[in-house]
Chain A
Amino acid sequence: MADPSRSRATVAFLVLPGLAVLAFSLVVPLCVSVYFSFTDSEGFGEYKTVGFENYVAILTDDPVFWRSLRNVVVLIVATIFVQNPIAFVLAAILSRMSARLSRILRTIYFVPAVLSLVVVAKLWADVFNPTFGILNKTLHAIGLDGLAMSWLSDPRTALPAVIWIILWQGFGWAVFFYYAGLMTVPRDLEEAARVDGASTFQTYTRVIIPYMFPVISTVIVIDVISSMKQMELIYLTTNGAPGQLTQFLGVYLYQKAFVAGEYGYGNAISVLFVIISVGLTLVVQRVMRGRLR
């Protein structure tokens, strides 16, 4: 009797449920979105097709779209070049500590990651509150009155403040990944480097980091994707304020579709968003793969 798992029909049949779920949760909504992006729909009522009008308007006449995209890029850069190095150094220190202390510290670092996003948003909104927030109160208490400000609504600090909240929450994950990666580095590799006269710094830069490149590249790809998706935290804290300085694509397309009643326009933003996300992810993966070789 032929092995049924080798029959193409069986394989197709078994893959079908998964494909169907994928189709209905991803492909169909995307197609509907593409369709509405070519209309002037307000979400309900009559609408007409307008060709590429929405796309042209977004790309040529919508500074908020570009601002939102820029903010996404800033967040990606901050995640990769600020959060990741600090998380890596911390993970390296943790990996050299006593098991007990390391476990306690790892748990503490991971707490923000398990907190609900709403809690994190409200927590930091309160910390940054100019009237009763602990940050300003502390600054006043230690005589740094000049530094006290309305962190989330001052145009100078709003974007760094929301990025800080996002990095703070994601920090636990980064440490977690790097710590797990560091645990897989064979000790003899390190010892061999030391025997050859490498300093601790050289051991990390020449041996351990190259060895961990697959982990690093995975973390970076995840960072890029989660930065692109950023929506809830912005919605819950500044909602894009002041002006549109802290606007991100996820919030912006939601506001256009469901607040401004420009459903067609919002869908066009979401289609561009998908294209940009997929494009960026592919580029990052390609760059990483190049480095891996």
Chain B
Amino acid sequence: MKATAFLVLALALVPVYRAEAQSKVTIKMGDNLPDRTATWGAIIEQINSEFKAAHPGTEIVTESYQDQPYQQKIKIYATAKQLPEVFKFWSFTSLLKPLINGGFVAPLDRAEFEGLGYLPGALDTNTYGGKLYGIPVSTDIWVIYYNKKLFKDAGIDKLPTTLDELYAVIPRFKAKGIIPMTTDGKDAWPLSITFDLLAWRIGGERALTGKALDRKIKFTDPVFVQAAKELQQFVKSGLFQEDLMVSDYGASRNLFGQGKAAMYLMGSWELGLGTDKAFSQEFRDNVDAFKFPVLANGKGVVDDLMAWYGGNYVISSATKNLALDKQYLQFYAKRFPELAWEKAVTLPAQTVKPRPNDTTVAKTILKIVADAKSTSGTPALDLSTPRFKDDNENAIRELCSGLITPEAFVKKLDVSAEKAAKK
């Protein structure tokens, strides 16, 4: 009797289960935004819930890690053929191109995304071999964030516009027990971007490092030696936190957010510092940004701006729900710029309207972009092979740890660029 009842129950459940399975679609996603309650991560969650409401029966499961572990995870997933269906990535040659070459990324229809307000060149940076592979999400510019209150406390009423002026403020902050500037030295890429910018400020020519990668000039040129000297001087002069080379993204950001450091060298994706509730109201009210200074004898000007379209979203070519995934990207492209600007988390890759209630730092970032006379495009470390990127970062680490001379540093870059060019 019991057995019969069990059988009937089991059979009755089968169709229900199958119907359930048919109507539910789960999109697996991945991104580098582990905090889902604040700033960028919270916006993604909002977009996801709006998308799910508009597409009943759709589930979204997201895996998130910090930047560098996330990049490594994606490489490992690609190796194991287990990439998420839709994932945040970077438009760079060093990161996206190997995935495209391996056939892991589905091409998109450019016409579907034109007319969504993308800034000039934004879609082009995601185009390889004439095909669009990703939708850009942010405009990234390189700035120096600063804490107005700490500047005032140290009696500094003029922002540094030259490197000499920047060096001059170091002892003023140190006397107050404040770290003059922080950045993520452990991961080295912020230092590499700064090296590009220094070469530009010295030589006055845009994308010099890119030229060296194309082997039109050599990394051993005097302009790069001088840029390397200047970068090494940054560290030697005590500009950065003492443990620069082992302090990672989160640690360096916290030093600034907690008021222990006066300046933070980072990209515009951190404009959410002005609204991040993890930090005090006093900090949020006082955070602003300024342009990277010039060199007294340099040929570059202050409005030569390191700017590129880094972050993007791509679809795995192994997806089973291509149409739905594309709808998601469409939805994302329409909603993200609006939300990102409203919540002040980053400068989108699409046009945004300034609003009277924008945070101070958001207004400043917009002004820096508007003032730009010339923009850099993707930083050199991401313009070549993954190997060049790794070599570049390791050489920068050695340079900034004082283990090699600027001359030895540029030599290392040149050897690596030569190898990359042959590949």
| Contact surface of A with B, Cβ cutoff 8 Å | 42-46, 64, 125, 128-132, 149-150, 152-153, 155, 237-239, 241-245, 255-256, 258-263
Contact = CB atoms under 8 A, between A and B. Distances in A.
Interface residues of B, number: 36
A130 B242 contact: yes
Nearest to A263: B79
B398 interface: yes
A261 B75 contact: yes
B241 interface: yes
Interface in B378-423: 385-387, 389-391, 394, 397-398, 401-404
B37 interface: no
Contact of A155 (B186, B244, B394, B401): B401
A261 B98 contact: yes
- Classify the secondary structure of B's interface with A: helix
B72 interface: yes
Interface in B66-97: 71-72, 75-76, 78-79, 81
A129 B394 CA distance: 22
Interface string B257-269: 0001000000000
B243 A44 contact: no
Q: Which 6 A-B pairs have the closest CB atoms?
A: A261-B386, A45-B102, A242-B401, A260-B390, A130-B242, A243-B398
Given A43-B79, A263-B79, A153 B102 contact: no
A259 B390 contact: yes
B357 interface: no
B101 interface: yes
B179 interface: yes
B79 A244 contact: no
Contacts of B150: none
A153 B244 contact: yes
A42 B102 CA distance: 10
Contacts of B101: 45-46
Contact of B242 (A43, A131, A260, A261): A131
B402 A129 contact: no
A150 B243 contact: yes
B143 interface: no
A242 B390 contact: no
Contacts of B260: 131-132
A130 B75 CA distance: 34
B119 interface: no
Contact of B401 (A43, A129, A243, A256): A243
A44 B104 CA distance: 9
A153 B255 contact: no
